[in-house]
Amino acid sequence: MSQQTLKVMQSRDLKRTTSKQNIGHTLGTVGIYAFLLFMALVVLFPFYWMVISSLKSLAEYRMSKPTFWPQTLLLSNYRDAFTTANLGRLFLNTAYVGIVSTLLSLFITIITAFAFARLDFKGKDLLFAALLGTMMIPGELFTITNYITVNSFGWTHTFTALIVPFLVSVFYIYLLRQNFLQIPNELYLAAKVDGTSDWKYLWKVMVPLALPTLISITILKMMGAWNSYIWPRLVANDDMHRLVTNGLRNAFKDTSGEVNYPVQMAAVALVSAPLFMVFIFLRKYIMAGVSRSGIKG
């Protein structure tokens, strides 16, 4: 076999191998996107069903054969949901609790994270390790003791009981501390040489540099306040202090105990809308804050 013939055969084998690799890569890419599309449909289907159910009549909702698009669009269900459940009051209560608790929690988180990241005091590492250890304890274990404490202070059926017990979050402190540690210590030493106080250095240098993480903490804290259910129902379930999560319970039953499910679905859609908007428009800040806090350098 001549050398020229051998080169031709090797070229053909190389082309055949390259073609197989391209086909395999294309099929793999198609398979990945098909799987992602399927999982997206699985995740989005409950929300789609919530929306179309909120636009149906009660008779259509109870049909033995479900319809995947309303026969008649009843936008009035949203008006009925807003008035029946007194959603205006529920939104105001939840917004007040969320904003006040978020601002106070941010202040506590910032000064605590700064202390663990930059200040030197005896037992700092041991104390921080003890704080991290509390993250392994389920929050439900504190429900009874927190309720006894709140009740002894006379805070039940007040906004104070909804705000104070959850102002300190070890996870947020850890997240912000890790971000503070990424800021070069030379900036702190230079500021001390210039006579800058720790308080001024914190708010003028460290807070602006850690803004993405602070935005992430703000979003997560607001979402946590919006989604809280067990604790508000336990300590403040009266009409003046009820939040959106437990305000929809039993709000759509008539005198016979029958539930108007389309109107209830409309109320759930209205309550879920702010969280959807937060996720759609601010998701990049959540990811940026979490990713920056996980890398030191």
Give mean pLDDT, residues 177-203: 85
- pLDDT band at residue 2, thresholds of 50, 70 and 90? low
The residues, any chain, with a CB within 8 Å of residue 58's CB and separated by 6 or more, are 260, 261, 262
Report the percentage of the chain scoring pLDDT > 90.
20
pLDDT at 160: 92
Q: What is the pTM of this model?
A: 0.76
Taking a C-beta distance cutoff of 8 angstroms, is the pair 112, 206 a contact?
no
Report the percentage of the chain scoring pLDDT > 70.
88
Taking a C-beta distance cutoff of 8 angstroms, is the pair 157, 238 a contact?
yes
Pull the structure tokens for residue 57: 């009549």
pLDDT exceeds 50 at position 296: no
Give the length of the chain.
Answer: 297
pLDDT at 290: 58
pLDDT exceeds 80 at position 265: yes
Is 253 strand, coil or helix? strand
C-alpha distances (whole Å) from 232 to each of 157, 241, 267 are 9, 9, 19
Nearest to 61 by CA among 272, 250, 270, 263: 263
Phi, psi at residue 65, to the nearest 5°?
-105, 110
pLDDT at 15: 66
d(CA 110, CA 175): 10
- pLDDT band at residue 103, thresholds of 50, 70 and 90? very high
